[in-house]
């Protein structure tokens, strides 16, 4: 019954926002955030009432619906009309300053929610929002295409973020590590997109292969649905980049040989670790 009640409250919130669509961006953002605050306050209360490490279904659902109101609410609250200070996402223009402030606010809010309720899933969203905010912030003051020629500065920021997430996860362990590793793998495709001149570049392909290998090592064999999808997205991004290499079979041959060699080495290492009869 409580699950149905929480769902009904979310539907009521979305319906109220739809009824008030005549509002301008900032007032609509305030309204959305007020509704999100009520839903997330319920989440924190339910988390505190649940046994530690075993969040109830009601707490998880309230977090989901609260996030669905929080993110667009922050975007509307910090909305700025795109101009010269904009990033083009496919066919949409987004203000760099507005997007960075919205994402920083989301990251801070989500970190506070984790501190209050200790739900480890918040540690998936918080670093993604933080890194996204940094990426928009370094583009502030100029207009660019999101999938352009890349930037080593962006690449290094992503690399530092992935390394920090993996290291923090290794220290924390448990559910916290699982969520931080998912965040790290989600950042992988965006990290590869930041490699300058990646299209039709064998060097960029090798960088992508090194990224895949590094993430696989960081996962230490514990591949979940989330991390698996992140690895798949990174692999498809690398393949898409190599597709511009023309009809040459060189990339396919090199990657095939590398894959076979890695598998052979892994089996050899496992055989060496087994005690002899």
Lowest mean pLDDT among 135-139, 156-160, 178-182: 135-139
What is the band of 185 on the pLDDT scale with cuts at 50, 70, 90? Answer: very high
Mean pLDDT of the chain: 85
Residue with tokens 């507005």: 98
Q: pLDDT digits over 70-113, tens only?
A: 999 999 999 988 776 777 765 667 888 899 999 999 999 999 99
- The answer on pLDDT for 232 being more than 70 is yes
Q: Determine, yes or no, domain membership for 39.
A: no
Q: pLDDT digits over 19-73, tens only?
A: 888 889 999 999 999 999 999 999 999 999 988 878 899 999 999 999 999 999 9
Partners of 87 in the β-ladder: 94, 144
Strand 92-95: give its sheet, edge to edge: 92-95, 86-89, 144-145
Q: Please report the DSSP string for 216-260 in residue order.
A: HHHHTT---HHHHHHHHHHHHHHHHHHGGG-S-SHHHHHHHHHHH
Reported pTM? 0.85
Supply the DSSP symbol for 148.
S
Model pLDDT, residue 224: 87
Q: Determine, yes or no, domain membership for 195.
A: yes
Model pLDDT, residue 141: 63
* Mean of pLDDT values over 162-171: 96
Per DSSP, helices labelled H in the chain are 2-19, 25-49, 57-77, 96-117, 122-138, 152-172, 174-193, 202-219, 225-242, 250-273
Q: Determine, yes or no, domain membership for 81.
A: no
Q: In whole angstroms, give the CA distance from residue 22 to residue 249.
A: 57
Q: What is the dihedral of CA 259, 190, 134, 126, to 10 degrees?
A: -80
Model pLDDT, residue 146: 53
Q: Determine, yes or no, domain membership for 210.
A: yes
Model pLDDT, residue 147: 47
- The answer on pLDDT for 246 being more than 90 is no
Q: Determine, yes or no, domain membership for 245.
A: yes
Highest mean pLDDT among 162-171, 187-196, 243-252: 162-171
Model pLDDT, residue 124: 96
User: Within 10 Å of residue 148's Cβ, how many Cβ atoms?
Assistant: 12
Residue with tokens 């448990």: 174
Q: CA 13 → CA 45, 46, 69, 216, 219, distances in Å?
A: 19, 19, 9, 41, 39
Number of domains in the chain: 1
Q: Whole domain around residue 177: which residue ranges?
A: 168-271
Q: Determine, yes or no, domain membership for 1.
A: no
Q: Determine, yes or no, domain membership for 175.
A: yes
Q: Determine, yes or no, domain membership for 263.
A: yes
Model pLDDT, residue 188: 94
């Amino acid at each position: 019954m409580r699950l149905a009640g929480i769902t009904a409250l979310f539907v009521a919130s979305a319906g109220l926002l739809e009824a008030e669509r005549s509002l301008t961006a900032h007032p609509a953002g305030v309204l959305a955030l007020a509704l999100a605050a009520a839903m997330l306050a319920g989440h924190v209360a339910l988390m505190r009432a649940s046994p530690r490490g075993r969040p109830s279904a009601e707490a998880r659902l309230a977090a989901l619906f609260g996030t669905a109101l929080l993110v667009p609410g922050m975007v509307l609250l910090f909305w700025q009309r795109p101009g010269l200070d904009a990033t083009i996402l496919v066919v949409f223009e987004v203000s760099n300053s507005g997007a960075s402030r919205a994402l920083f606010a989301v990251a801070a809010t989500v970190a506070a929610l984790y501190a209050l309720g200790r739900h480890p899933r918040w540690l998936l969203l918080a670093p993604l929002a933080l890194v996204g905010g940094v990426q928009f912030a370094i583009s502030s003051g100029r207009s660019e295409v999101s999938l352009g020629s890349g930037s080593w500065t962006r690449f290094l920021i992503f690399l530092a973020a992935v390394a920090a997430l993996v290291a923090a996860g290794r220290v924390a362990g448990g559910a916290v590590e699982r969520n931080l590793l998912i965040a790290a793998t989600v950042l992988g495709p965006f990290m590869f997109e930041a490699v300058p001149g990646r299209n039709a570049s064998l060097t960029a392909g090798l960088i992508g292969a090194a990224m895949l290998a590094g993430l696989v090592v960081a996962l230490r064999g514990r591949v979940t649905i989330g991390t698996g999808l992140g690895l798949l997205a990174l692999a498809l991004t690398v393949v898409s980049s190599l597709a511009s290499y023309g009809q040459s079979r060189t990339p396919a041959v090199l990657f095939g040989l590398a894959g076979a060699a890695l598998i052979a080495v892994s089996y050899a290492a496992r055989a060496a670790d087994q005690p002899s009869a």
